[in-house]
Amino acid sequence: MHNRRNFLKLSAGAAIGGLTAAMPASAQQRQCNEINWDESVDVLVVGSGFAGLSAAINAKRQQVGSVLVLEKMQVIGGNSAINGGWLAIPKNPIQLAQGINDDSPEELVNDQIISGRGMQNVEMLKVIADRALDSYDLCIETGVKFREGFNIQVGGHNKARAIRTQHGTGGDITTKLFEAGKKEGVEYRLQHYIEDFIMDGQEIVGVKVRKNYRFPDLNTGKTIYIKANKAVILAHGGFAQNMKLREAVDPSLDPTLDCTNAHGATGEVTLTAMANGALPVHMNLIQTGHWGSPDEGGFGWSNALLSIGWHQGAAISVLNGKRFMDERADRKTCSEAIMKNRYADNSPAYPIVLFNYENYAEDDRVVRSLRDKMAWKLDTLDDVAKQFNIPAAELKKTIKEYNQHVTDRKDPLFNRKMDTAEVLTGPFVVSRIWPKVHYCMGGLKTDLGGRVIDGRTMEPIRKMYAIGEATGGIHGEARLSSTSCLECLAMGIIVSETIKSDL
């Protein structure tokens, strides 16, 4: 119990979705009661996804004292636990075993500069890429298993450098980081919702927390105060599930789009940080995942299924039976091309992706997609045309032309890299596609060490750090596939070093 006098600075709009929290802190803060701390900890981590779990275990290893992770939901892992388990690592052992020896952190950053379209933070991308092998090692030493021999080139990358967890889910990583952290002395608590920060001038000294909170009911649980002696790390993720905030920062984003995120990705801690002076950047840059399927909800299987389709198959418009994009371009390029497929009344004309069935009949990506009826096995192009109401003659003409491009290993229509493309003969695996809201490139501005920048002074807020999707301005206009997990793991390592250096 600590009774040191401090002053609460309440931000009245800190509730879920409370947009008033985004107003300048000076308009909302007011001094009130003396704090009677219920407990204290040295390092407090908010959020239990890749970033929070990495930061927690690495802070413990830096010997900066006690570490407590607070998670508002009923399970550990946040949004990370349901992602696809992809991780971009230049010079990873599988890549080297495949004979790819010319990759490097610099090559990865060069790809990210292209996808960022001039809006990226190059220095931050370099810092993260330089710690890629450290991030991979963290996974291996904590027991994460990756698919044997699996390392592929994913959209927007110029090299095959994306490995994937054994079960194709980020839960393979969050589970192992959690287990390792527990063994090393990290404490984790579920159902703890951050109501506000406790500030002493330009320094965070603790948090006001609703303990035993039951999402999304703010009337559940009771309020406690936790003092943070050395650091508060904000690793609470993005805000893709906060519809009011999404609409406020990007009115052009189709509100009918499904979302891949967990329900807890509501961003209220970002709003609370902003209300206390933290500088937001790129809040309107919200990414859609072009691999979504309208035939399943949330993240689903489509992401995994299309890791085959983008490489070995083709995307076809149901409106005219023609290809319409480079299937291996980055997410932003593909999403924009897909969403142009609309009927006269502006409703979605869901394009299809098809590839050969026989080569992948036993692949779990195909088996579970067919089982759950978000993909179909069809024997002929006439069957495909009939099921999806595509002009049959045009579809056949398109596939004949595509097959010639495969044979030539050259795509004169969209300049797609054809090294992995297969001649399409059928029977086919066919799925429908439509983008889903997936990732927030915007969030809190930090320096290279993860210190949160105060927008009023452009200096770091003392003892306040942010990492992962809670931050903004790193990736620019489009984040490349498999780089979020890398960013979170790497920044968890980096921020722990920063905290130690700041003591």
DSSP per residue, 16-54:
TT-GGGGS-GGGT--B-PPP-BSEEEEEEEE--SHHHHH
Residue 33: the pLDDT is 55
> Of 319, 396, 365, which Cα lies nearest the Cα of 86?
365
Phi (first) and psi of residue 465, to 5 degrees: -130, 155
Burial class (CB in 10 A: 0-12, 13-18, 19+), 187: middle
Given a contact cutoff of 8 angstroms between Cβ atoms, the answer to whether 29 and 469 are in contact is no
Q: State how far Cα 495 lies from the chain centre.
A: 19
**Per-residue tens of pLDDT for the chain, all 503 residues:** 333 444 444 443 344 334 433 333 433 344 445 899 999 999 999 999 999 999 999 999 999 999 999 999 999 999 999 999 999 999 999 999 999 999 999 999 999 999 999 999 999 999 999 999 999 999 999 999 999 999 999 999 999 999 999 999 999 999 999 999 999 999 999 999 999 999 999 999 999 999 999 999 999 999 999 999 999 999 999 999 999 999 999 999 998 899 999 999 999 999 999 999 999 999 999 999 999 999 999 998 999 999 999 999 999 999 999 999 999 999 999 999 999 999 999 999 999 999 999 999 999 999 999 999 999 999 999 999 999 999 999 999 999 999 999 999 999 999 999 999 999 999 999 999 999 999 999 999 999 999 999 999 999 999 999 999 999 999 999 999 999 999 999 999 999 999 999 99
Residue 215: the pLDDT is 97
Non-local (6+) Cβ contacts of 336 within 8 A are none
Non-local (6+) Cβ contacts of 116 within 8 A are 125, 475, 476, 477, 478
Phi/psi-derived region of residue 332, left when phi > 0, alpha when psi is between -120 and 50, beta in every other case:
alpha
> Of 29, 6, 15, 28, which Cα lies nearest the Cα of 227?
6
Residue 227: the pLDDT is 98
- Count CA within 13 A, CB hemisphere, residue 260: 25
Phi (first) and psi of residue 195, to 5 degrees: -90, -35
Phi (first) and psi of residue 145, to 5 degrees: -110, 135
Six-digit token pair at 336?
């924009």
Phi/psi-derived region of residue 53, left when phi > 0, alpha when psi is between -120 and 50, beta in every other case:
alpha
CA distance 352 to 322: 10
CB atoms within 10 A of CB 68: 20
Residue 225: the pLDDT is 98
Distance (Å) of CA 153 to CA 116, 156, 178, 315: 18, 8, 29, 18
H helix or E strand, kind and range, residue 386: helix 381-388
Burial class (CB in 10 A: 0-12, 13-18, 19+), 254: exposed
> Of 112, 120, 148, 185, which Cα lies nearest the Cα of 486?
112
Q: Strand pairing of 222-234 and 460-466?
A: parallel
Query: pTM of this prediction?
Result: 0.91
Set 331, 365, 432, 451: catalytic member: 331
Residue 34: the pLDDT is 83
CB atoms within 10 A of CB 256: 7
Q: Is 131 a catalytic residue?
A: no
**b/e per residue, 471-490, with b = 16+ CB within 10 A?**
bbbbbbbbbbbbbbbbbbbb
Q: Strand pairing of 204-211 and 222-234?
A: antiparallel
DSSP per residue, 306-367:
HHHHHHHSEEE-TTTS---S-TTS-HHHHHHHHTT-B-TTS-B---EEEEESGGGTT-HHHH
> Of 500, 454, 501, which Cα lies nearest the Cα of 43?
500
DSSP per residue, 261-286:
S-TT---HHHHHHHHTTBPEE-TT-E
DSSP per residue, 191-248:
SEEEEEEEESSSBEEEEEEEET-BTTBTTSSEEEEEEEEEEEEE-----TT-HHHHHH
Q: In what order do the strands lie in the sheet with 376-378?
A: 314-316, 352-356, 428-432, 376-378
